[in-house]
Amino acid sequence: MKDYWEFHDECGVVGVYAPGKRDIARGVYFGLHSLQHRGQESAGIAANKGGKIQYYKDMGLVQEVFSDEVIERLQGDIAIGHVRYSTAGESHAANAMPLVVYYRGGAIALAHNGNLVNARILRRQLQDDGFIFQTSIDSEVIAALIARNIKDSTIQQAITKSLEKVQGAYALVITAGNKLIGVRDPYGLRPLCIGKNEEGFVLASESCVFPLLGATLIRDVEPGEMVIIEDGELKSVSYAEKEKRASCAFEYVYFSRPDSRIDGVGVYTARSQCGRILAREAPVAADMVISVPDSGTVAAIGYAEESGIPYGEGLIKNRYVGRTFIQPDQRTRELSVRLKLNVLKGNVQGKRIIMVDDSIVRGTTSGKLVKMLKDAGAKEVHIRVASPPVTDPCFFGIDTPDKNKLAAAVHTIEEIAEMTGADSLAYLSVEGMLSAIGMDSDKICTACFTGNYPMELPERDMEWEDEPWMI
């Protein structure tokens, strides 16, 4: 289980192409609702009517940001949207997306999920060339490059030329002129899929968006592919050499909604298999399997089914803990575990409990939960983690803490078990996770579990956060 300061969610993007449909922004609004789990900090929608782009964005949850009146005002044939949790750039309304930039020939709106590993280097180069940046997000670097390159080219050529310079993770939805464009980085690190409905096309970070919009999943955007939707048709272009595919393993074990499919794999099935394989790899005698809700639940059910030990509710989640309480100071951290989760005493008293969590990052939450369960009378608490130890930070859009704050980077499993007060603790193996997802190790990024990054990371970029202007 991760709290907001531990393992920040990333971003979610949606694009809707539906010429002639009134209320297009409402479709994007619904789509963003379905992606709210990917970012709760800010939300925005940009609507494109004949190349003229209107937008609205602000801090807050989707339902807090958009009133009926705002949705009504955002008319167009194409619209894109974004929900954000800051993984690069500070938490500020100026950093909300979509980004809308104007160039001599028109306007472009862009929504980005992912992190660029060379954004800061590119930003310095652009600043040296006289560019002025309005935000501290690396997505603005992409927007600036496109605006610079579009002078004598089509939007498609300008995007291709711009992305030649960019390294890192990106799933982009862009609208300009009469086009909706989707782009996925050459590794496919961040997800992006294509849906089709009667009115046109939908692009989204996750396929869970589609049923609400009456759309059916056609396929994922391929690594290094750009899809251009115009005049009711979808055209595909390979804008870059496809690198070694590296779909993010964490999308399966934690981030994505269980009802999504990513790169042909159902998230629910992958997560349930993680639990089943974990039960085979790390069995323990117990009376009940419980989950750390919600993200540990599917794996916990899988563990229970495989082990034959009954699944039961042991921790009840308060679903209405607002962001007011999600403040990264020590006092609120302590309080917030109790605010978010409460023990169902009658269910755990006198029992040997297996507590299944999706992951352990810092390890602080797990210890508090073990204590709460034992205080409520649990005889034994065994932690089973449905993913491998997180040993390395992510540089591709998932905001992990520094390596020295990752429990598994600085402690042995035995030490972590001791720190949490659990009677035993075991993680799923990397091989077990790959087998659960059903992908070969050369098609998936497992860097936060193995340290094997799919690309080289520029040194200078990693030192950037010490620079004063970022504060």
What does the binding site for ligand SF4 look like in residue numbers (CB under 6 A)?
189, 248-250, 394, 396, 398, 445-448
Tokens 């055209």 belong to residue: 235
Alpha helices in 83-217 (DSSP H): 119-128, 139-149, 155-165
Between CA 23 and CA 45 the distance in angstroms is 12
Q: Which of residues 115 and 139 has its CB atom nearest to ligand SF4 in the complex?
A: 115
What is the nearest approach in angstroms of ligand SF4 to the Cβ of residue 391?
10
Dihedral sign for Cα 163, 166, 168, 174, please: negative
Closest-CA residue to 243 (of 164, 167, 168, 188): 188
391: tokens are 């040993």
Query: Which residue number, 247 or 307, has a Cβ lying nearer to ligand SF4?
Result: 247
Minimal distance in Å, beta carbon 356 to ligand SF4?
Answer: 20
Closest CA to 131 of 123, 120, 139: 123
Nearer to ligand SF4, 46 or 253 (CB): 253
For ligand SF4, the closer CB: 29 or 453: 453
Residue 312 near residue 287 (C-beta atoms within 8 A): no
Which among 99, 102, 118, 120 is positioned nearest to 110, based on CA atoms?
Answer: 99
Please say which residue, 214 or 264, places its beta carbon nearer to ligand SF4: 264
CA distances from 311 to 257, 271, 298, 356, 390 (A): 21, 16, 11, 10, 26
DSSP 29: H
Q: Which of 11, 248, 274, 448 is catalytic?
A: 11
Give yes or no: 208 in active site: no
Residue 460 CB, nearest approach to ligand SF4 (Å): 20
3-class state of residue 24 by DSSP: helix
The distance of closest approach from Cβ of residue 255 to ligand SF4 in the complex, given in angstroms and rounded to an integer, is: 8
Nearest to 38 by CA among 181, 247, 191, 168: 191
Tokens of 51: 């190349």
CB of 433 to ligand SF4, least distance (A): 10
Note whether 385 and 280 are within 8 A (CB): no
Per-position b or e across 101-124, b if 16+ CB within 10 A of its CB: bebeebbbbbbbbbbbbbbbbbbe
Q: Residue 159: enclosing H or E segment and its boundaries?
A: helix 155-165
- In the complex, the smallest distance separating the C-beta of residue 190 from ligand SF4, rounded to whole angstroms, is 8
| Between 213 and 390, CB nearer to ligand SF4 | 390
Q: 354 or 444, CB closer to ligand SF4?
A: 444
User: What is the token pair recorded at 347?
Assistant: 């269910």
Q: How far is the CB of 90 from ligand SF4 (least distance, A)?
A: 21
CA nearest to 426, candidates 278, 289, 305:
278
Rounded to whole angstroms, how far apart are CA atoms 425 and 417?
Answer: 5
Active site residues: 11
